[in-house]
Amino acid sequence: MMDWPFYLDSVFPALNRGLGVSLQLIVPSALLGLAGGVLLGSLRVFGSPRLRRAGDMYTAVLRGVPLVIQLFILYYVLPKIGLYLDGFSAAVLGFILCSAAYHSEYVRGAFLSIRQGQLKAAQALGFSPLQSIRFILLPQAMRLALPGCGNEIVYLIKYSSLAYMTTCVELTGEAKVLASRHWRYTEIFLAAGLYYLCLTSLASFILHKIEARAHIPGFGRQK
Amino acid sequence: MNEKTGTFPEPALRLEEISKSLGGRLILDAVSLDLRKGERKVLIGPSGAGKSTLLQCVNCLVLPDRGRIFLKGEELDQSDNRALRLFRRRVGMIFQDFNLFDHLTALGNVGIALQKVRGLPKAEAESRAVEELARVGLEGKASMYPAELSGGQKQRVAIARALAMDPEVILLDEPTSALDPELAGEVLTVIRDLADGGMTMLMATHQMDFALALADEILFMEQGRIIEQGVPSLLLAPGSGTRTLDFCSRLALGAEGRI
Ligand SMILES: Nc1ncnc2c1ncn2[C@@H]1O[C@H](COP(=O)(O)OP(=O)(O)O)[C@@H](O)[C@H]1O
Ligand SMILES: [Mg+2]
Give residue B244's pLDDT band: very low, low, confident or very high (50, 70, 90). Answer: confident
Residue A223 has pLDDT above 60, yes or no: no
| pLDDT attached to residue B5 | 47
Q: Count of domains in chain A? A: 1
Indicate the residue of B91, B102, B162 with minimum beta-carbon distance to A219: B102
Alpha carbon nearest to ligand 1 atom 7, residue: B22
Contact B113 A117 (CB under 8 A): no
**Among A30-39, A176-185, B77-86, B246-255, which is the least confidently predicted range?**
B246-255
What's the whole-number mean pLDDT along residues B17-27?
95
Within a domain: residue B202?
Answer: yes
Contact predicate A85/B65, CB 8 Å: no
Neighbours of B22 (CB within 10 A): 12
Dump pLDDT digits (tens) for A65-116.
Answer: 999 999 999 999 998 998 898 999 999 999 999 999 999 999 999 999 998 8
Contact predicate B74/B86, CB 8 Å: no
pLDDT, chain A, mean: 93
pLDDT above 90 covers what percent of chain B? 75
Distance from CA of A30 to the nearest CA of B (A): 25
Within 8 A of B154 by CB-CB distance, chain A residues are none
Contact predicate A3/A186, CB 8 Å: no
Range of the domain at B75: 11-100+169-252
Dump pLDDT digits (tens) for A4-50.
Answer: 777 777 788 999 999 999 999 999 999 999 999 999 999 999 999 99
Q: Hey, which residues 83-122 in chain A have their CB within 8 Å of chain B?
A: 114-115, 117-118, 120-122
Within a domain: residue B80?
Answer: yes
Give residue B254's pLDDT band: very low, low, confident or very high (50, 70, 90). Answer: low
Contact B101 A118 (CB under 8 A): yes
What's the whole-number mean pLDDT along residues B45-68?
94
| pLDDT attached to residue A91 | 96
Within a domain: residue B177?
Answer: yes
What's the whole-number mean pLDDT along residues B57-68?
94
Q: Is A61 exposed, middle or buried (0-12, 13-18, 19+ CB in 10 A)?
A: exposed
Residue B6 has pLDDT above 60, yes or no: no
| pLDDT attached to residue A220 | 78
CA-to-CA dists, residue B248 to B44, B178, B206, angstroms: 9, 19, 9
CA A27 to chain centre: 9
Within a domain: residue B120?
Answer: no
Question: Which is the closest atom of ligand 1 to the Cα of B54?
Answer: 17
**Among A55-69, B148-162, B216-230, B245-259, which is the least confidently predicted range?**
B245-259
Q: Hey, which residues 188-227 in chain B have their CB within 8 Å of chain A?
A: none
Indicate the residue of B85, B147, B162 with minimum beta-carbon distance to A218: B147
Residue B7 has pLDDT above 60, yes or no: no
Range of the domain at A9: 4-214
Dump pLDDT digits (tens) for B91-135.
Answer: 999 999 999 999 999 999 999 999 999 999 999 999 999 999 999
Within a domain: residue B114?
Answer: no
Within 8 A of B103 by CB-CB distance, chain A residues are 136, 139-140, 143, 216, 219
Within a domain: residue B126?
Answer: no
Probe site for chain B from A118, A125, A134, A221 (most B CB atoms < 10 A): A125
Q: Count of domains in chain B? A: 1
Q: What is the CATH number of the domain that holds B244?
A: 3.40.50.300
Give residue B207's pLDDT band: very low, low, confident or very high (50, 70, 90). Answer: confident
Within 8 A of A114 by CB-CB distance, chain B residues are 102
| pLDDT attached to residue B9 | 67
| pLDDT attached to residue A48 | 95
What's the whole-number mean pLDDT along residues B56-84?
93
CA distance B17 to B15: 7
Within a domain: residue B241?
Answer: yes
Residue B1 has pLDDT above 50, yes or no: no
Dump pLDDT digits (tens) for A146-175.
Answer: 999 999 999 999 999 999 889 899 999 999
Distance from CA of A139 to the nearest CA of B (A): 7
| pLDDT attached to residue B2 | 46
Q: Residues lining ligand 2 (ion), CB within 5 A?
A: B 52
* Edge-to-edge strand list for the sheet holding B169-173: B91-94, B169-173, B200-204, B40-44, B217-222, B225-230
The DSSP bridge partners found for residue B18 are: B31
**Which of the 8 DSSP states describes residue A165?**
G
Within a domain: residue A221?
Answer: no
Q: Which residue of A has its CA nearest to B145?
A: A217
For chains A and B, CB pairs below 8 A equal 83
Dump pLDDT digits (tens) for B194-204.
Answer: 999 999 999 99
Within a domain: residue B85?
Answer: yes
Within 8 A of B117 by CB-CB distance, chain A residues are 125-127, 131
CA distance A175 to B169: 71
Alpha carbon nearest to ligand 1 atom 24, residue: B48
Within a domain: residue A78?
Answer: yes
Torsion of CA B186, B190, B195, B200, to 10 degrees: -120
Within 8 A of B162 by CB-CB distance, chain A residues are 124-125
CA distance B184 to B210: 11
| pLDDT attached to residue B235 | 84
CA distance A198 to A200: 6
* Ligand number, closest to the Cα atom of B57: 1
**Among A9-13, B14-18, B53-57, B171-175, which is the least confidently predicted range?**
A9-13
pLDDT, chain B, mean: 90
Contacts of A34 (CB under 8 A, 6+ apart): A99, A100, A103, A149, A153
| pLDDT attached to residue B210 | 85
- Give the predicted TM-score (pTM) of the model: 0.88
Q: Quick check: B112 contacting A, CB < 8 Å?
A: yes
Which residues have C-beta atoms less than 6 Å from ligand 1?
B 22-23, 27, 45, 47-53
Within a domain: residue A222?
Answer: no
CA-to-CA dists, residue A27 to A31, A101, A142, angstroms: 6, 17, 19
Residue A222 has pLDDT above 50, yes or no: no
Within a domain: residue A163?
Answer: yes
Within a domain: residue A220?
Answer: no
ipTM: 0.90
Q: What is the DSSP code string of chain B?
A: -PPPTTS--SEEEEEEEEEEEETTEEEEEEEEEEEETT-EEEEE--TTSSHHHHHHHHTTSS--SEEEEEETTEEP-TT-HHHHHHHHHHEEEE-TT----TTS-HHHHHHHHHHHTS---HHHHHHHHHHHHHHTT-GGGTT--GGGS-HHHHHHHHHHHHHTT--SEEEEESTTTTS-HHHHHHHHHHHHHHHHTT-EEEEE-S-HHHHHHH-SEEEEEETTEEEEEE-HHHHT-TT---HHHHHHHHHHTTSS---
Q: What is the CATH number of the domain that holds A115?
A: 1.10.3720.10
